[in-house]
Amino acid sequence: MSLTLDAGPAALQAAESATAAASRAGVLVVDEHDRDRLRDVEALLIAIWGMSPHGAPIPFDLLRSIAHAGCNVSAAYDHAGQLCGAAVGIVSPGGRSTYSLIAGVLPGNGDKGVGFALKQHQRAWSLARGIDTMTWTFDPLVSRNARFNLTKLGAYASEYACNFYGQMQDEINANDESDRLVAVWPLASQRSMDAGRGIHAEIELPPDHSAAVLEYGPDSLPVLLESGGTLWCRAPRDIVALRGSNPDAAARWRVLVREIFEPAFASGRQASGVTRDGWYKLTAPDQA
């Protein structure tokens, strides 16, 4: 595996964006290799996702091996030196893409920009090594994450992975099926460069009078709209809370969103952004 440094213009811009994002969030983000601190990363991931019957989300020994192999374990420390976020990435065969395995922020730090700083650090790490794409998966029902990935970072999705991990048994997913969208982040694109500077176009629903309702959701409100050739699909406001209060309704959301995304992607559409209130924008090939 060749991970040579490449100080090209995109890599330099990414490094500047990563430094600025960390400063705004009040953290220091580093490539972590220290054995004891990697144990802290394992503990942080457990604090975020809990333990499953299989153990920690990513156990210490695997973190140690990933770091030793020259792949990326990013750790964010606050001004007091306390670990408050982490992200882990490996390099795909051929060395042209980073696959982000996990990224999380300690509860209570979600609105401080720590997650954005971690992703910008991963972006800079990748571009410095000549890697121009990052991919990862995320739950399409978690609208907050979807907006972060597709609107704030500048990634897109055009692949729907049905029940990717099988049935999930951790504390957040509560035995739900593990459908995932595959995020693709072109790290050197103008959109990603702008996003790294904090510049992103807000996605807005079309006016009510111009959109046709094609389908209603489990809550009896519109869930699929069409306007000017663009489809708009709504995710539930808080799927984690819904899984706890009404798992049957959560399961209906899973099936409904799956039945919207799979044919949309099969026809060549891609999810190119998400509104603040959880509507995916699904653009046709001629609109990209």
Q: What is the CATH number of the domain that holds 119?
A: 3.40.630.30
pLDDT in tens, 168-199: 665 555 567 899 999 999 999 999 999 999 99
Q: Going by C-beta distance under 8 Å and a sequence separation of 6 or more, which residues neighbour residue 143?
A: 235, 236, 237, 239, 274, 277, 278
**Do 22 and 156 share a domain, yes or no?**
yes
Q: Pick from 148, 172, 196: which residue ends a domain?
A: 196
- Domain of 257 in residue numbering reads as 208-287
227 domain-assigned: yes
**Do 88 and 162 share a domain, yes or no?**
yes
**Do 251 and 173 share a domain, yes or no?**
no
183 domain-assigned: yes
Task: Give the position of tokens 């907006």.
Answer: 147
105 domain-assigned: yes
Name the band, by pLDDT with cuts 50, 70 and 90, for residue 22: very high
Query: How far, in Å, CA of 40 to CA of 42, rounded?
Result: 5
**Do 188 and 212 share a domain, yes or no?**
no
103 domain-assigned: yes
Could you give the angle at which helices 60-68 and 35-49 cross, rounded to 10 degrees?
A: 130
Q: Pick from 163, 196, 229: which residue ends a domain?
A: 196
Identify the pLDDT of residue 170: 56
In total, how many domains does the chain have? 2
**Do 132 and 100 share a domain, yes or no?**
yes
Query: How far, in Å, CA of 89 to CA of 99, rounded?
Result: 5
3 domain-assigned: no
Q: What angle do CA 172, 167, 150 make, to 5 degrees?
A: 60
Name the band, by pLDDT with cuts 50, 70 and 90, for residue 2: very low
Q: Pick from 144, 165, 196: which residue ends a domain?
A: 196
**pTM for the whole structure:** 0.92
Q: Is the pLDDT of residue 42 over 90?
A: yes
**Do 180 and 261 share a domain, yes or no?**
no
pLDDT in tens, 119-163: 999 999 999 999 999 999 999 999 999 999 999 999 999 999 999
Identify the pLDDT of residue 201: 86
Identify the pLDDT of residue 133: 97
Q: Is the pLDDT of residue 45 over 80?
A: yes
37 domain-assigned: yes
Q: Is the pLDDT of residue 109 over 70?
A: yes
Across 46-69, average pLDDT:
93
